[in-house]
Structure 1
Amino acid sequence: MSRKVALISGASRGIGAATAQSLFNAGWAVSLGMRQPVMPGWAETDTDRVHLFPYDATDKNAADNWAKAASGQFGQIDALIASAGIMIPKTPIEISDAEMTEMLEINVHAPRRLAAACWEALGASGRGRIILLASLSGKRVKSAMAGSYSMSKFAVIGLSHALRQAGFDQGIRCTAVCPGFVATDMAASISDRAPNTMTQPEDLARVIHMLIDLPNEASVAEFAVNCQLEERY
């Protein structure tokens, strides 16, 4: 049986980078979508299992071009992890049309285009996997400043459920992973919480690896994880 192949957007740092390393260490081949592709140090011992692609989430042709390049390199695509995303911390009243459009473009339309581009390949094995990095902000709105971001992440969760419905009979399973504060640059820009008290990217990578490794009969629609206690999501 050939090795499995994962496409990972936002792979240059944070959750995407940690997930890429975790899957690589487990024997996967990985295609890494980065604005400025650089071979990670952890991959230098086996660069044949790493494919780099200059992925720009705002480029409407990037998804198709990336999927074709990865398929050409490895011959298959078994999993898609859409980790790229942005946050513009403004209320729905303050945010401009251009800013809201940019956030929806990167957080929602880009993963939708990636799923469409990888769809045929994901269905070929009968157990394709899609992970969309959503957020607990896509489950509830806890502050006005996070409101616009929450709007985009609510849409990501809707997209995840729609993909789950569309691909279920083909064995494609889609999960929305919904973390709270994660020790990344994004969290550092909006919280004064110490990084060591936040969920670590490496722990989310373990969660993602577990989710894509589950059989079709143990499908998970949403996975919420948080560093702090909440009364409800």
Structure 2
Amino acid sequence: MRQHSPTPPSAQPVALVSGAGRGLGLAIAQELLAHGWRVSIGTRQPVPQLADHGPAQLQRSRFDALDADSETGWIAEAAAHFGRIDAIVHNAGVLSTDSVLTASDAEFDRLMAINVKSPMRLTRQLWPYLQQSPNGKVVVMASLAGKRVRAPEGSLYAISKHAALALAHGIRHCGGADRIRCTAICPGFVDTDMADGVLPEMRAQISQPADIATLVRTVLELPASASVAEIPVSWQVESQY
């Protein structure tokens, strides 16, 4: 059998993953690292679960979605470390169980700042690197809450995720001329700390972080000729999204 030479490290694509300190973001980082990606994680604290990966494959920067300066610093550090940036996964986000009638203005502003404004700013700053990449990609972790509202509780969160979904479509259109593709992943319940209030019998069936991580990697590795706008994912069969 013919032996293939390993891919030179400098040719390995580089992805930024926000909020990779735990849960879904950590699973995405682990999935990409396991399949040959070099990864820069943006977190508020070190991530001991990834300590086995050396600097050739993993770089970490301090990132806080409420601190615009940390976004600029993260991109600069990742680019200096790896010499290229091919993709970003906008995973950092926060949940709210407030309704649109009970939420304060401050809570609205916090959700929009973290779930929408920070990903928009990061993408804007990353754009020159994505334009230089042979396969520039953006993934926005939206939610099924961004496609429908099922109850008063969490309707404020749904507003932010509707906006995140619109952001993904806006990025997709902006990237048309440069063949930079953007996909919104829209999961329902996923077995992370955001599902701590879910009943035990339901939690035993809901989507696993590894399921969503596999979808993210698949989207990132698709060629530009396969542009996927959004992927809704649920742990059950829903009548409509």
- TM-score, normalising length: structure 1: 0.96
State the one-letter code of the partner of 2:239. E
Match of 2:32 in 1: 23
Match of 1:95 in 2: 103
Match of 1:34 in 2: 43
Verify: 1:86 aligned to 2:98, yes or no: no
Deviation at 1:121, TM superposition (A): 0.3
**Runs of at least 4 residues of structure 1 off by over 3 A?**
none
CA distance in 2, matches of 1:170, 1:45: 32
Match of 1:129 in 2: 137
CA distance in 2, matches of 1:204, 1:131: 12
Deviation at 1:65, TM superposition (A): 1.3
CA distance in 2, matches of 1:231, 1:183: 22
Match of 1:177 in 2: 185
Listed as ranges, the matches of 1:1-233 within 5 Å are 2-41=11-50, 43-189=51-197, 191-193=198-200, 194-233=202-241
CA distance in 2, matches of 1:126, 1:30: 17
Is there any run of 5+ residues in structure 2 with no aligned partner, and where?
A: 1-7
State the one-letter code of the partner of 1:105. A
CA distance in 1, matches of 2:37, 2:22: 19
- TM-score, normalising length: structure 2: 0.93
CA pair 222-45 structure 1, distance change in 2 beyond 3 A? closer
State the percentage of identical aligned residues.
40
SS at match of 1:131: strand
CA distance in 2, matches of 1:25, 1:161: 29
Larger radius of gyration between Structure 1 and Structure 2: 2
CA distance in 2, matches of 1:65, 1:133: 22
CA distance in 2, matches of 1:159, 1:45: 32
Deviation at 1:126, TM superposition (A): 3.7
> CA RMSD of the aligned region, Å?
1.2
Conserved? CA contact 1:39–1:52, under 8 Å: no
Conserved? CA contact 1:126–1:170, under 8 Å: no
CA distance in 1, matches of 2:159, 2:53: 42
Deviations 1:41-71 (A, max 9, x none): 4x51534211011110100222221111100
Q: How many residue pairs align between the two structures?
A: 231
State the one-letter code of the partner of 1:156. A
CA distance in 2, matches of 1:45, 1:69: 18
CA distance in 1, matches of 2:68, 2:81: 22
Conserved? CA contact 1:107–1:153, under 8 Å: yes
Is there any run of 5+ residues in structure 1 with no aligned partner, and where?
A: none
Deviations 1:84-114 (A, max 9, x none): 0001101011000001100100000011111
Deviations 1:110-143 (A, max 9, x none): 1111111211101102420000000000000001
